[in-house]
Amino acid sequence: MTELPKAYDPVQVEQRWYRVWLESGYFHADEAAPKAPYSIVIPPPNVTGSLHMGHALTATIQDILIRWRRMQAYNAMWLPGTDHAGIATQMVVERHVQRSEGKSRHDLGRDEFVKRVWAWKAKNGGRITEQLKVMGCSLDWPRERFTLDDGLSLAVREAFVRLYEEGLIYRARRLINWCARCRTALSDLEVEHADVDGSLWHIAYPVADSDERLTVATTRPETMLGDTAVAVHPEDERFRHLIGRRVRLPLTDREIPIIGDAVLVDREFGTGAVKVTPGHDENDFETGQRHGLEMIALFDPAGRLNENAPVEFRGLTVAEARLQVVARLEAEGLLVKIEPHKLSIGQCQRCETVVEPMLSLQWFVKTGPLAGPAIEAVESGKTRFVPEMWTKTYMHWMRNLKDWCISRQLWWGHRIPAWYCAACPEGAAPTVARETPQNCARCGGTELTQDEDVLDTWFSSGLWPFSTLGWPKETRELKTFYPTSVMETGYDILFFWVARMMMLGLHFMKKVPFRTVFLHAMVVDERGDKMSKVRGNVIDPLDVIHGATLDQLVQAATDRGTPEAAIANIRKQFPEGIPASGADALRFTLAAMAAHGRNIRLALNRIEGYRHFANKLWNATRFALMNFEGYDADRFADEARADLRAKLSLPDRWILSRLQRTAREVDEALEGFKFNDAAQAIYRFVWSELCDWYIELAKPALQDRSTEGELRRRMAQGVLATALETACRLLHPIMPFITEEVWQHVPKRAGTPASIMVTMFPTLDPTLVDEEAEATMAVAQGTIVAVRNLRSEYTIGGAVPLDVTLIVPQAELRARIAAESGMIAALGRLGTLTLTADGEPPAGTLVSVVGEVSVCVKLAGQIDRAAEEKRIDKEIGKLEKSRAQVLGKLGNEAFMARAPEEVVVEEKRRLAEAEERMARLRASRERLARL
C-alpha cells in the first residue's frame, strides 16, 4: 500500500492533476453528444488583467456547477474567453507607451498604436487564463474566445448592421457624458456618482433696460458663460412680470431671455430663478428643447473652454474657469452670496475625472423595443434570478431605460461599420454595411471614410452567449448549447452586462441567453471594505494558493508603486505573510462563504481553517490506506450484494446512513445554488462523523487480525473505502485536486473510470438510510460523551480505565446497546461495562442522564462531593427552566386548542423526559449525600 506523506502538500499535488485532466480531454464537451446539455459561458475577464478574488469566486462557483453537472452525466460545457476591455486596456497601453517611449498615442498614430495594443495583449494576454488553470477550472479550452477574434468581430458587425437597418441604432447630436481625460463619450452606466460638499453661488443678472437684478443660484458658476436663458416659475408672483424680458449675461456681451418654465423651476429652491445652460446640463437641454433656446457648447474635448467663451477664459480648464468667473463676478459686485451645498458629481468609472455633459454627435441603441421582451422573459420565468431579490432590481432598471450611447472615441475596439461619403452633404445618412463598401449607398460615390469611433465594449459583450458559439452562423454549437444553462456573475454588472445580454440575446436569437442568472456577492476584506490596492487590503488568490512571505508581499506592492500607507497596512495585516493553502482550500472557503445576499468578508483564518480540513481528509485517507491490507473492492461489492445489513456493524450502518443523508443535502444545496450549505454538509460529514466517530469506532475491527474477525474487518474496510470514496465524489466539485489525489489512492472496483472527474456524482440510496442505526448510535455517543465529560471534570486521563454501569429500562434498546458494549467500552476507555434494567445505580458511582439511559460511572474515592452537587444542581436547574417553559405551554388553553397535534405531543414528551431526568438526578444527589 502506498505510504502517503504525513501532511498534505497542495502545491505539489494540484498542478500535476490539472495537466492530467487537460491532456485526457475531460474538459472538452462534444456538441454532437447525445446527452442533455449544460452550458455556461464565462464572464470574460479583461484580457490583460490578472486574477483577483472576484475572479476566484466566480471561477469557483462556475467550476463547481460544471463539475457537478458533468458528474451527473450532462454534456457540460464551460466556455472560456477574454474581453478586450476598450477603455481599460487602451489606458494601460497608453501609459506604458508614454513611460517607455515618451510618446502619446497621437504621436504614434492610430495604426501604430493599435499594433502596440496587440503586442501588449500577446505579451500579457495569457496571464489570466493561466491563472484560471491554477484555480482548477475545467474550462473547454479549445473553445476559448476573445471579443476581438474574427468570428466575434463578424458577429458585432452583423448585430450593428441589423439593428441599424431595423432603426434600433441611430446617430444623433445629444448631451452625452464626456470624460476629458479619456477623451471619449461614456454610457450613463460608466459614470459613477459621488456626493461631495460643494457650494451654491448666488449670482445677480441685471435685467435689461431696468435697474432690477434677477439673482440665480447655481452649483456650476463657470457654465454661466454658456447660459442662453434664465427660467422662473410661471406662477411665481415675484418674477411674473419679468417673463418675456431679457437679462444682460454678466462677463459677456449677450442678452438672454427670461422664460417661465414649470418643469425646470422649483420655486422653493435657491432664489427661485435658474440659469439655463442647454449645452451642459440635461435638464437645461430639455428646457432648451421646450423653448427653442440656443445651445452653446463651452468646452473642447480636452475639457478646456473653447472659442464660444469670452477671450479671457479661453483655454482654461473647468476648475480654473470656475475660480476666474467667480472672481470676476465678485469684482463686478454681482456675486450675492455663497452657500455650502451638497451635490452629487459624476466621475469617470475608469479614471475618476469629473464627467461633463457635452453636446456631441454619437451613436445610440434605442432600448425601448429591446427592453420589452427582456422584461417579459423574466416575468414569464423563462429566465429566473437567484437570489430572487435581483428580479426587482432588474425590472426597475429595465422599465426606466434610456437609450444607450455605444460610440467611444477610442482606438481599441470594434470600429463602427459606418462610412461617410465625401460627395454627400454634411449630415446625410452614412453607409452602414457588413463588408467594407466601395460605393456610397446613397449616391454611389467612392470617396468613403469609415467612422473613427469604436463600439462600447459592452456591446460586444452583450452578444457573448451566442457570438462565442458561432453566431451569426447557425452552428451545431449554438443548437446544442444555446440558451446557456446558467449565467454566473457578480451583481455589480447586472445592468452593464446581464441586462444587455438579455436584450440582445432575445433580439437576435429569439430565445433567452440563459435560463438562470446566479448573481454572487462581492468579495471584500475582513472589515467589509472593498479590496483595493490603494488601501493595501488586497488578498491575492495566487498568494493564498502558493503562499507568500511578508517580504514578497511588500516587494510586489512596491513594484506596483503602492502608496506607503498601503504598504504599512500590508505589514500590519499579514505580519507572517500568507501561508500556501492551495486552490482547494481557497475554493472551499469561497464556497462556504457564498451565502446568498451577503458580501463575502474574506479572512485569512477562514482559509486556514479549510486548509486544515483538506489536511484532515488527507490524514483520514492515510489511516485508511494503512488499514486496507488484503482489501479487495470487488470482493466487498460481491459480499455486499447479499444480506448486507447482517454483515455490517452498527457504526458501519450508521456511517453509510449518514453518508446518504449527506449526499442528499449536498445535491439539494447545489440545486439551489447554496454553495455554503453544500460545503457545510460535506465538512460536517468528513470531520464530525467520518473522522471523529466512524474511524475511531472502526479501529477495533480494522486492527483485529484474527481469523474470526476477518469478515468484520473486510466489512469495515469496505465501508471505510466506500465512505471515503463517496465523500470524495461529493466534495470533488468544490475541491477538485485533493479529492482526485485521495480518490486515486482508495482501492476501487475494477472498471472504475481513470479519474474522479468522470465518475458519477453520488445520489441518495434509500436502502442505506438506517433510522434504527442512527438512533442506537445516538445513545452510544451520548454515553461516551457523558463518560468523557466526567473524565474532564475530574481530570482523569484516558489512561485510567473506568467502570461503568448503564441502566437501560427499555429491553429492546438494552439489547441493541449490549450488542455495542465493546465499541462503547473502547471509545469511553472503560474497564468494565455492565448493563442492567434495574433503576438503582450501584454504590460509589456518579450518574449522568442520557435520554432514557442512566450512565453510572464508578469513581470511588475520587468523588468531589461539592463539585458533583454543583454539577447536578446546574443540570437540574436547566431542566427546571425547561419544565416551567413546557408547563406554561401545556397549561395554555389556546396552545392546546390551536397548536398542531404533533407539537403538543412533542411538548408532552419533553415534559415527561425533563421530569424523569430530574427525578433520576435528584436520586443521584441524595445518594451523594449518603456517600
Partner RNA sequence: GGGCGUAUAGCUCAGCGGAAGAGCAUCGGCCUUACAAGCCGGGGGUCGCAGGUUCGAACCCUGCUGCGCCUACCA
Residues near RNA (CB under 7 A), total: 101
Q: For the chain, what is the radius of gyration of the CA atoms?
A: 37
482-511 positions binding RNA, by CB under 7 A:
492, 495
Question: Is residue 559 helix, strand or coil?
Answer: helix
Binding letters toward RNA, positions 673-712, x by CB under 7 A: -x-xx--x------xx--xx--xx--x-------------
Q: Please spell the DSSP secondary structure of 679-705, one letter per residue.
A: HHHHHIIIIIIIIIIIIHHHHHHHH--
Binding letters toward RNA, positions 272-291, x by CB under 7 A: xxxx-----xxx--------
Does 745 engage in binding with RNA (CB under 7 A)?
no
246-265 positions binding RNA, by CB under 7 A:
264-265
Nearer to RNA (CB atom), residue 376 or residue 529 = 529
Among 507, 587, 611, 920, binds RNA (CB under 7 A): 611
Among 144, 526, 774, 852, binds RNA (CB under 7 A): 526
Does 619 engage in binding with RNA (CB under 7 A)?
yes
Environment class of 867 (CB within 10 Å of its CB; exposed 0-12, middle 13-18, buried 19+) = exposed
Region from 42-50, 79-87, 479-487, 594-602 binding RNA, contact rule CB under 7 A:
594-602
Environment class of 494 (CB within 10 Å of its CB; exposed 0-12, middle 13-18, buried 19+) = middle
Relative orientation angle of helices 127-134 and 53-71, to the nearest 10 degrees: 60
427-486 positions binding RNA, by CB under 7 A:
none
Does 615 engage in binding with RNA (CB under 7 A)?
yes
Q: Are 384 and 516 in contact (CB under 8 A)?
A: yes
Environment class of 914 (CB within 10 Å of its CB; exposed 0-12, middle 13-18, buried 19+) = buried
- Please, what is the minimum distance in Å from the beta carbon of residue 473 to RNA? 35
Grid cell of 507 as nine digits? 433580439
Nearer to RNA (CB atom), residue 811 or residue 894 = 894
Among 535, 661, 788, 927, binds RNA (CB under 7 A): 788
Q: What is the DSSP letter of 315?
A: T
- Please, what is the minimum distance in Å from the beta carbon of residue 649 to RNA? 17
Does 527 engage in binding with RNA (CB under 7 A)?
yes
Region from 145-153, 336-344, 412-420, 500-508 binding RNA, contact rule CB under 7 A:
336-344
Does 237 engage in binding with RNA (CB under 7 A)?
no
- Please, what is the minimum distance in Å from the beta carbon of residue 778 to RNA? 13
Q: Are 143 and 83 in contact (CB under 8 A)?
A: no
Distance (Å, whole) CA 39 – CA 62: 10
Distance (Å, whole) CA 921 – CA 854: 9
Nearer to RNA (CB atom), residue 476 or residue 878 = 878
Region from 133-141, 471-479, 605-613, 641-649 binding RNA, contact rule CB under 7 A:
605-613
Q: Are 266 and 234 in contact (CB under 8 A)?
A: no
Q: Are 212 and 242 in contact (CB under 8 A)?
A: yes
Does 141 engage in binding with RNA (CB under 7 A)?
no
Nearer to RNA (CB atom), residue 480 or residue 854 = 854
Nearer to RNA (CB atom), residue 302 or residue 800 = 800
Does 270 engage in binding with RNA (CB under 7 A)?
yes
- Please, what is the minimum distance in Å from the beta carbon of residue 279 to RNA? 13
387-416 positions binding RNA, by CB under 7 A:
389, 392-393, 396-397, 400
Nearer to RNA (CB atom), residue 9 or residue 772 = 9
215-234 positions binding RNA, by CB under 7 A:
217-220
CA 267 vs CA 168, 214, 232, 247: distances in Å: 39, 14, 8, 19
Q: Are 324 and 316 in contact (CB under 8 A)?
A: yes
833-892 positions binding RNA, by CB under 7 A:
882, 885-886, 889, 892
Does 201 engage in binding with RNA (CB under 7 A)?
no
Q: Are 922 and 884 in contact (CB under 8 A)?
A: no
6-65 positions binding RNA, by CB under 7 A:
6-9
- Please, what is the minimum distance in Å from the beta carbon of residue 681 to RNA? 10
Among 116, 616, 714, 732, binds RNA (CB under 7 A): 616
Distance (Å, whole) CA 623 – CA 617: 10
340-379 positions binding RNA, by CB under 7 A:
341, 343-344
Distance (Å, whole) CA 82 – CA 128: 9
Who's near 25: CB < 8 A, 6+ residues apart? none
- Please, what is the minimum distance in Å from the beta carbon of residue 900 to RNA? 5
- Please, what is the minimum distance in Å from the beta carbon of residue 156 to RNA? 24
CA 812 vs CA 663, 772, 804, 818: distances in Å: 31, 12, 20, 10
CA 852 vs CA 823, 855, 873, 906, 917: distances in Å: 20, 10, 19, 16, 8
Environment class of 506 (CB within 10 Å of its CB; exposed 0-12, middle 13-18, buried 19+) = buried
- Cell match 481599460: residue? 88
Among 429, 550, 775, 785, binds RNA (CB under 7 A): 785
- Please, what is the minimum distance in Å from the beta carbon of residue 255 to RNA? 20
Region from 3-11, 138-146, 429-437, 545-553 binding RNA, contact rule CB under 7 A:
3-11
Distance (Å, whole) CA 905 – CA 896: 10
Binding letters toward RNA, positions 897-926, x by CB under 7 A: xxxx--x--x---x--xx------------
Q: Please spell the DSSP secondary structure of 783-814, one letter per residue.
A: HHHHHHHHHHHTT--TTS-EEEEEE---HHHH
Does 797 engage in binding with RNA (CB under 7 A)?
yes
Nearer to RNA (CB atom), residue 114 or residue 853 = 853
541-580 positions binding RNA, by CB under 7 A:
none
- Please, what is the minimum distance in Å from the beta carbon of residue 188 to RNA? 5
Distance (Å, whole) CA 695 – CA 651: 9
